[in-house]
Amino acid sequence: MYDVLPDSEISRVLAVTAHPDDIDFGAAGTVARFTDAGIQVVYCVCTDGQAGGFDLDLPRSEIPRIRRAEQEEAAAQVGVRDVRFLGLVDGELEPSLELVSALTAVIREVRPDRMIIQSPERDWALLPRSHPDHLAAGEAAIRAVYPAARNPFAFPGLAAAGLEPWTVREVWLSAHPTSNHAVDVTDTFDRKIAALLAHKSQHPQPDQLAPRVRDWLTRGAREAGLPEGRLAESFFVVPTG
């Protein structure tokens, strides 16, 4: 397991995801632990999840409003009050210069010590983790972390607008093909499930959600060598120095 920076050295965490609910599936238990420790956590969601849902009678034009509201409710369950939306289109996300610039701006505004992002590398063993939007969000985010956010000459309009360079010290990749760090989320599991259930538009069978997620996290804890009965969210942690 990787020796991560101690939480006592972390003041702010920024989580970047492709869709509403991505952070809740990947890291809501960990986020709850961060906020419980007094760490400020900010979410940045790239798309409004327009391609999600299951209700054929629900007007698709309503989806962005619904999914934003659901993500804000989910965030509140784990102590997050600052949720930012870039408003891009679900299914069309690309690691473009425009997206890298937008994420660089958010990094320079939030000035996080640690970031949680989605893996830009496909997991062939569990393909649904590697939605193309997830890969794009992860690639754009890591390009924003290095080198753009720290480089005073990258996207000069940002510095002209008062957004000074910032170096993120550590990046946690979610849904990476391998992991080198696990967070015991046994005590925050119920809040993770509450966050996931806030996304009502996405769960036609909500009673099946907790057992399924518990099974995932049980396997994660077992692979990390935690005691029987514990639950863990897994990450691949990368220092940026």
Q: Find, among 210, 211, 221, the residue nearest to 186 by Cα.
A: 221
Q: What is the CATH number of the domain that holds 48?
A: 3.40.50.10320
In a domain, 181, yes or no: yes
Determine, yes or no, domain membership for 120.
yes
Number of folded domains in the chain?
1
1 within domain boundaries: no
Q: What is the pTM of this model?
A: 0.97
Does residue 2 fall inside a structural domain? no
Spell out the per-residue pLDDT of the chain, length 241, in tens.
789 999 999 999 999 999 999 999 999 999 999 999 999 999 999 999 999 999 988 899 999 999 999 999 999 999 999 999 999 999 999 999 999 999 999 999 999 999 999 999 999 999 989 999 999 999 999 999 999 999 999 999 999 999 999 999 999 999 999 999 999 999 999 999 999 999 999 999 999 999 999 999 999 999 999 999 999 999 999 999 8
Beta bridge partners of 47: 88
Please give the Cα distance from 164 to 6 (Å, whole number): 26
CA 197 to chain centre: 17
Residue 219 in any domain: the answer is yes
| Residue 75 domain flag | yes
